[in-house]
């Protein structure tokens, strides 16, 4: 009986680990060089995207304040990614990314992807 419980626990752990690793950075994140500073599940230079998602989406936050102005959550996060800044995740600043043309749509797509990674929900 004990070996069955141990086997079930090991199987559950493998399944959980498999689910954690099942999500990869999308090609767009590689194209825009997000992977130089971010990973989905661990801190690199910047925070893990899952941690960002849990801070906002995971707690039911609907707005984001950027440089003293409040925006709807996705729009505010797009502003942060686009214009850069520091202070929310430590002293390392996030460099600005140009918002011109189609790049803004790509940044918004990545922000929406990142927010979909929340493991806690409101």
pLDDT per residue over 35-53, tens digit each?
999 999 999 999 999 999 9
- Domain 25-115 sits in CATH at 1.10.760.10
At residue 11, the 3 state secondary structure works out as helix
pLDDT of 101 reads 67
CA distance 19 to 17: 5
Sign of CA dihedral 27, 32, 36, 42: negative
Dihedral, 108, 110, 116, 118 alpha carbons, nearest 10: -110
pLDDT of 3 reads 53
Given a contact cutoff of 8 angstroms between Cβ atoms, the answer to whether 78 and 37 are in contact is no
The pLDDT tens digits for 4-33 are 544 444 444 444 444 444 689 999 999 999
At residue 23, the 3 state secondary structure works out as coil
């Amino acid at each position: 009986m004990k070996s069955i419980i141990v086997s079930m626990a090991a199987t559950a752990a493998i399944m959980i680990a498999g689910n954690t690793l099942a999500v990869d950075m999308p090609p767009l994140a590689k194209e825009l060089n997000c992977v130089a500073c971010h990973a989905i599940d661990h801190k690199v230079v910047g925070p893990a995207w899952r941690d960002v998602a849990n801070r906002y989406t995971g707690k039911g936050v609907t707005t984001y304040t950027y440089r003293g102005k409040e925006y709807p959550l996705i729009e505010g996060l797009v502003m942060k990614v686009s214009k850069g800044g520091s202070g929310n995740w430590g002293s390392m600043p996030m460099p600005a990314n140009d918002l011109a043309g189609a790049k803004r749509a790509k940044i918004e797509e990545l922000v929406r992807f990142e927010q979909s990674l929340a493991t806690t929900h409101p």
